[in-house]
Structure 1
Amino acid sequence: MHLEEHISSKTDGIKPQEIDWVLTVPAIWSDTAKQFMREAANNGGIPNSRLILALEPEAASIYCKNLLVDRTISSGGRSTLAAFAAGTKYLILDAGDGTTDITVQEIKPDGYIKQIFIVRGDWGGVKVDQAFDEFMLDIVGMETMDKFRNENKAEYLSLCREFEVKRRGIRPDSTAKITLRIPLVLSEQFHGVKGVSLKDSTKSSKSMEWVGDKLRIDPDIFKDFFSKSCRQITHHLNSIFQEPAVVDTDIILMVGDFSETKMLQAAIKSAYHKKLVIIPEEPGLAVLKGAVQFGFNPKIINPRISRFTYGISTIKRSLPHIDPENNKKTGQ
């Protein structure tokens, strides 16, 4: 494998059999999906003896549980260390770019972590990307946009990457216009389809203006790209907090790439200002760092009860005068 080859080329002190591998998987995955991941790892050269599967929300909570107070951002004055005291329930909002996993866990008196509730939805950062896509469609039209995507993939990806950078930087209190470089080929294709220049078609808009090949967009439009995703997440959180097992949970732990955006952070803090919102310094790396810690101490997670049990033998109640006496067994 690549990592083992790289390590071997750098040092002779570490042998492949001394390396344990931790693969993170979504908590909502079925046993079949987890088994597929395990077999894929085996085929890739990782034996079961050196393989550990870690659930992503559990890995994130392990990382945040060990954080120092001054390395977190909280919405209240409570200590982060106290927030993870024994008996405490907390909700993990693992907001990724694709999906959002919401898990509620509890710290047991022995320090182990117990999972109480879990749900997954497609309310991640992809919704923001879709909103931007719809914005561009309104400007250039479906025909131009399809032509641009299909014939100029590199330029299209460049536009998506630039939007990703701007998306991470926008804040609820931003007042400056957001500047995006629009690929020249997109303007040319628009002219070829519509017969007019892209700049002329948008010059009447008060929310946009052109400076060379750059489109400057009103910050309120940019903020609105987040509204659907943030609204969906808070809506589902509201229903989760009404669950009997979750109703007394007053801590929200935000992790995942989408949790790095100031817009989502502000939406959660505003909707749940009476709860303690904890955000690690690098929310997008919380699962990765927690997985490393889990690899050193897998027993920190409370043992789970299997969804299914399998019997290997049976015994029935003895019937007097019917069943042979020599087959009778007396329980201790």
Structure 2
Amino acid sequence: MHFLTFKIVEDYDCFGAIYLFSYIISSMSSLVVVAINIGTTHSGYAFSTRHDYMRDHQKISIPAWPSYSGLCPPLTSSCILFDAAGDFHSFGFEAEEKYADLTLENKHQDWYYFKMICEKMEPTLGSLTEDDKGKKMESIKVFAGAILYLKSHFLKTLAQRMYAIDISDISWVLTVPAIWNDSSKLFATEAAKEAGISKDKLFIVREPEAASWTCMRIPNEEKCESSSFEGLISGSKYIVVNVGDPRTDITFHEVQGDGTLKDLCQAQDNHQGGNNLVSSFMNLISDLLGNDVISAFNSEYKFDSQELQNDFKIRMKAMKPDCVDNITFRVPMSLIEIICKFNPNKEKVLTLDARFKEQATVIGNKLRINAELLKTVFDKSYERTFRDVHQLLRHPSMRGITSILLVGEFAVYPMLHKVVKQIFPDKRVIVPPNPDFAVLKGAVIYGHFFN
């Protein structure tokens, strides 16, 4: 952070002073800050110019990613594909689609396909990562490939928007999981270097800290899902719960007088994340249709199974705690074919377990599940996570914690808010606007502040 003192002479007009100040600031700081987040299942980047940041901290761009489903979400998948020679081929939805085609033609065996590139919790220099077939590659090569792709995508976006900015005027912020140690942060720095990002233009920030920067810079007029949000000010003690997929990271922070954050204890990693929620849903589907059927479906039709899981995620985002209606899911034809394979004497209709006849019904290729039954999926998935947090709060160092900050992909779910508020009735639960992008946006703000 740079500090500057200068005197404006009396005959220097106001507009000239503003121009001079802007010129000096721009010459000291990068003109653009780009944040890159490589998650376990989803990845992306966000950016803003110095000019936009000075006017509005929250004016941050996040590009859309066209997918094979026809949708354009603001994040792409964390999938990366290398050819048989070990050379980078593609990333994200493009990698998913190419690998699906290779699989259909049985030409995928020699290729390297990494679906969850951050699944290894604490990668280090020299560590190896396994692809979906068990083939190994240096972790740094996989991670650097992802960074380089997102970096190149941003530079193309910049060119399309007619920005004439030299790459030396760009600062980069790379987010890392809360539990990564110094060796893993060094790994991230070296991976960025391999992707063409020099150390003097790079910031490394942990995901919960980045999310906190989002909340510390929310304007007063912005509405949070909280009864009385006044920002995270100096002296505030709070918990950051980053509810991601497949895990939930939990950190305990105190805001210092200079705006930096102090860790109150070691970051906690809990595997009861979004992946566990989806697994609980698929277990429910197994109970409804039979374990053998769903096991074969997941094995033989991975992409259709993923579509069913994505459908669940989308519908749960809109489900309110007071919902009493049935929720409808479209059943893929491939699943019906699997059912017929296991029951050759039956017609192509779904047969539900008799235990659930009052809570689930079938109409054509539509499966309708009662909202109360779906609510149990949330309770089973997250109650243990937050019970663990409840135990940690009994430690003396946790005294004075009054707030819980919910961020991450699954923090948009109203049902999750209900679970947290029930377990912590005496805490203020803060859910910032667009909590699924709090890490990316906060990383951009962090980069500008320390630039």
Class of the TM-score when normalised by the shorter of the 2 chains = 0.7 to 0.9
Aligned-partner Cα distance in 1 for 2:164–2:425: 51
Determine the structure 2 residue equivalent to 1:119: 268
Q: For residues 258-312 of structure 1, what are the alpha-carbon distances to aligned partners after superposition, in whole Å with 9 as ceiling and x for unaligned?
A: 111111111111222222111101111111110001101238xxxxxxxxxxxxx
Determine the structure 2 residue equivalent to 1:277: 429
The SS at the match of 2:398 is coil
The SS at the match of 2:431 is strand
2:205 alignment partner, one of 54, 70, 75: 54
Aligned-partner Cα distance in 1 for 2:444–2:239: 21
- Identical counterparts, % of pairs: 31
Q: 1:45 and 2:196 equivalent?
A: yes
Which structure has the bigger radius of gyration? 1
Aligned-partner Cα distance in 2 for 1:70–1:234: 30
Return the letter of the residue paired with 1:225: V
Return the letter of the residue paired with 2:438: A
Contact 1:102/1:120 (<8 A) preserved: yes
Aligned-partner Cα distance in 2 for 1:214–1:72: 37
Determine the structure 2 residue equivalent to 1:314: none
Q: For residues 194-223 of structure 1, what are the alpha-carbon distances to aligned partners after superposition, in whole Å with 9 as ceiling and x for unaligned?
A: 233474632851211112210111111111
Contact 1:170/1:223 (<8 A) preserved: no
Contact 2:229/2:430 (<8 A) preserved: no
Map 1:193-272 to 2 at 5 A.
Answer: 193-195=342-344, 196-197=346-347, 199=349, 201-202=351-352, 204=354, 205-272=357-424
Count the aligned residue pairs: 296
Map 1:303-314 to 2 at 5 A.
Answer: none
Map 1:88-167 to 2 at 5 A.
Answer: 88-117=236-265, 118-167=267-316
TM-score, with normalisation over the residues of structure 2? Answer: 0.62
Aligned-partner Cα distance in 2 for 1:4–1:276: 41
Q: For residues 197-255 of structure 1, what are the alpha-carbon distances to aligned partners after superposition, in whole Å with 9 as ceiling and x for unaligned?
A: 47463285121111221011111111111112221122111112111111221111111
Aligned-partner Cα distance in 1 for 2:353–2:283: 19
Contact 1:75/1:277 (<8 A) preserved: yes
Aligned-partner Cα distance in 2 for 1:24–1:282: 18
Contact 1:68/1:80 (<8 A) preserved: no
Segments of 5+ residues of structure 1 without an aligned counterpart are 300-332
Contact 2:286/2:294 (<8 A) preserved: yes
Moved more, 283-292 or 89-98: 89-98
Return the letter of the residue paired with 2:429: V
Segments of 5+ residues of structure 2 without an aligned counterpart are 1-151
Aligned-partner Cα distance in 2 for 1:233–1:145: 27
1:73 alignment partner, one of 203, 213, 224: 224
The SS at the match of 1:253 is strand
Aligned-partner Cα distance in 2 for 1:206–1:5: 54
Contact 1:72/1:80 (<8 A) preserved: no
Determine the structure 2 residue equivalent to 1:305: none
Determine the structure 2 residue equivalent to 1:18: 169
Aligned-partner Cα distance in 1 for 2:420–2:350: 40
Moved more, 227-236 or 254-263: 227-236
Return the letter of the residue paired with 1:238: H
Contact 1:72/1:279 (<8 A) preserved: no
Relative distance call for 1:145 and 1:111 in structure 2 (3 A) is closer
Moved more, 226-235 or 66-75: 66-75
The SS at the match of 2:239 is strand
Contact 2:238/2:402 (<8 A) preserved: yes
1:90 shift after superposition: 1.2
Relative distance call for 1:75 and 1:296 in structure 2 (3 A) is closer
Determine the structure 2 residue equivalent to 1:85: 233
Contact 1:95/1:124 (<8 A) preserved: yes
Q: 1:4 and 2:152 equivalent?
A: no
Aligned-partner Cα distance in 1 for 2:259–2:192: 30
Return the letter of the residue paired with 1:113: L
Relative distance call for 1:198 and 1:133 in structure 2 (3 A) is farther
Contact 1:127/1:228 (<8 A) preserved: no
The SS at the match of 1:126 is helix
1:6 shift after superposition: 4.1
CA RMSD in angstroms comes to 2.0
Contact 2:328/2:369 (<8 A) preserved: yes
Relative distance call for 1:133 and 1:277 in structure 2 (3 A) is same
Contact 1:90/1:105 (<8 A) preserved: yes
Greater RCO, CA 8 A, separation 6+: 1
Aligned-partner Cα distance in 1 for 2:403–2:433: 17
Return the letter of the residue paired with 1:221: L
